[in-house]
Amino acid sequence: MTRSSRTLAEREGGIFILSAPSGAGKTTLISRLLKIFPEMLLSVSYTTRPRRPGEVHGRDYFFVGKEKFAVMRARRGFAEWARVHGALYGTPRSPLDRSVRRGRDILLDIDVQGARKIKKLYPRAVSIFLLPPSWQELEKRLAGRGTDRRENIRRRLENARREIRAIVRYDYFLVNRQIGEALASLKSIVVAERQRISRYKALRRQRSALSRIYGLKADG
Ligand code: 5GP
């Protein structure tokens, strides 16, 4: 790599937020996306909700008690935190800042409250909302999941209705009609966002960077 192309390549890591009502197919989409972009990090949240069968501490979540969560919060360890479905969830701040600094993209699987707070704190974060193909389909998927009690399903459906209303505050949306199609759209968003001028320190800070690198005359 030449010196000039290295200067251009110095990009800050992008923050990609993916929100969806539970049952929209977010988990599958995320694992498929990470296979396409293995260098992308996945932010692991802290939560006070009980671990479900098959979930791994440190991979799916950091499962902690209310006291530990409160300590993290008091130490300003979370970039954002929220109460979702009756439990507390928080995005740890340091992995986020580290990945932006080191030019690694990071994906956040968080709800609409979290998305709003992250966008405030990191204005270049990209928010994407995943929609289920239809309301009927969402009901069917939640009922068929079998991991939640009836009361929980009712609460998740209520939340879904509220969350879908918040879609207007997002940058992009995807409809999960067919996973391959949703994945292709998501991949395009990531690829395009990586080329955003504002992510390149050299291009952002120095008006004349392009002219220096390419030996062009600065414009005005
Ligand atoms: P679940 O308990 O089904 O894994 O997640 C429930 C909801 O909490 C999902 O919508 C998920 O995106 C959201 N969530 C997970 N981690 C966080 C977090 O750190 N912050 C916020 N605000 N929401 C989260």
Tell me the torsion sign for CA atoms 179, 62, 121, 11. negative
CATH code of 3-43+105-205, in short, is 3.40.50.300
In order along its 220 residues, the chain shows pLDDT tens digits of: 565 556 666 899 999 999 999 889 999 999 999 999 999 999 999 999 999 999 999 999 999 999 999 999 999 999 999 998 889 999 999 999 999 999 999 999 999 999 999 999 999 999 999 999 999 998 888 888 766 678 888 888 988 999 999 999 999 999 999 999 999 999 999 999 999 998 988 787 665 666 667 776 655 4
Residues in the chain, overall count: 220
In this structure, which residue's CA is closest to atom 14 in ligand 1? 110
Q: Give the strand order in the sheet containing 46-47.
A: 62-63, 46-47, 87-92, 78-84
Ligand 1 centroid from CA 163, angstroms: 12
Q: What gap in Å lies between CA 198 and CA 158, rounded to an integer?
A: 38
Q: What are phi and psi of 148, to 5 degrees?
A: -120, 150
Q: Whose CA is nearest to atom 23 of ligand 1?
A: 110
Q: What is the per-residue pLDDT for 218? A: 53
Give the number of the atom of ligand 1 that is nearest the alpha carbon of residue 26.
12
CA of 127 to the centre of ligand 1 (A): 14
The whole-angstrom separation of Cα 39 and Cα 14 is 12
Helix (H) or strand (E) holding 128: strand 126-131
Instruction: Give the pair of three-digit tokens for residue 218.
Output: 């600065």
Q: Is the dihedral of CA 131, 137, 138, 141 positive or negative?
A: negative
> Which residues are 19's β-sheet partners?
129
Spell out which residues line ligand 1, taking CB within 6 angstroms. 22, 45, 49, 80, 82, 84-85, 89-91, 109-111, 113-114
CA distance 103 to 124: 13
Q: Which atom of ligand 1 is nearest to the CA of 46?
A: 19
**Sequence ranges of the domains in the chain:** 3-43+105-205
What's the whole-model pTM score? 0.89
CB burial string 54-76: b at 16+ within 10 A, e below: eeeeeebbbbbeeeebeebeeee
Give 49's contacts (C-beta < 8 A, 6+ positions apart): 61, 63, 85, 86, 87, 89
* Tokens matching residue 76: 């300003």
What whole-number distance in Å separates Cα of residue 38 and Cα of residue 27? Answer: 16
